[in-house]
Structure 1
Amino acid sequence: MNVQRIQAIFEKDMKDFMKNTMMLFTPIIPVILAVLYSRMGGSDR
């Protein structure tokens, strides 16, 4: 494949990714929840 074509596809995907907020937050939410749940455990360490 042509390098320009790959770059154009990548740029289009990045624009779509930034427009669709659900796609943006879907990978972030589990990380945030994991951090919150790990801090909820208390101070029994």
Structure 2
Amino acid sequence: MTNQSQNPQPDQPTLHIEHTQQPDEIKVPNPPNPQPDQPNQHLQQ
């Protein structure tokens, strides 16, 4: 609710939430582990 007041764009806060919860799980297993399960998560970003 506070983020929406500062950012009148509903697309910004939504991307911010996914980026904060995926950086740790995508930045780690993506580069070092080129598994076929990772590409699926990459599409979500």
- TM-score normalised by length of structure 2: 0.36
Larger radius of gyration: 1
Structure richer in helix, relative to its length: 1
Q: Which has the higher contact order (CA 8 A, sep 6+)?
A: 2
